[in-house]
Amino acid sequence: MMMIVWNIIKYFKVLNVNLEQILTDIGKNPALIKDLLPFMLAQLPLENQTALSWDYDDLFVWAAYERTELNILKDIVTWYQTTMGNCFTFNHDNSSRKYDLRYSGFKTLMRVRQDEYLSWVDTASLLVFVHPRGETIMSESVRYQAGPGEETSLFVSKVYMR
């Protein structure tokens, strides 16, 4: 593991950092790497950050709305968030078409890509955020985890408070 961390640190060429101290601290507490890595990635140009994250072809097998297959590149908007990587949103504010929520809704088959996770990550999953169109999502937002080899169903209904 130390070699992986060393290669990551060298790759990002973080300036004004005591690399020996970082490696020593991570060796004592490996959990630090998950906190450190997003800050190191944030030092890269945006194009490099998005290139390191998964894209449509890596994750999506198919997607459908009301049993009609979608054009993933057209109907799902991609955007980048520093701590989560590339994010994919159906019915995004910037979509050319707006879909109304109905009973059968949105369905997709996706790859979790567990084989590409780093060795110290013990839980592979996709984070699913269900939210109103136009709402900003962050890593702290309410989310659901869809694990590999599982079927995850979310049933959403809108509640009005007076």
Extents of the domains making up the chain? 2-43, 52-146
Q: What is the pLDDT of residue 120?
A: 61
Give the C-alpha separation, 73 to 112, whole Å: 19
Give the C-alpha separation, 158 to 132, whole Å: 10
Residue 122 has pLDDT above 70, yes or no: no
85-90/106-110 β-pairing:
unpaired
Q: What is the pLDDT of residue 87?
A: 92
Average pLDDT value for residue range 100-126: 76
> Model-level pTM greater than 0.85?
no
Q: What is the pLDDT of residues 14-54, one digit of tens each?
A: 555 666 777 788 778 877 777 777 777 777 788 888 888 88
Q: What is the pLDDT of residues 127-147, one digit of tens each?
A: 899 888 888 888 889 998 888
Q: Which residue's structure tokens are 């702290």?
A: 140
Phi-psi map region of 13: left, alpha, beta (phi>0 left; psi -120 to 50 alpha): left
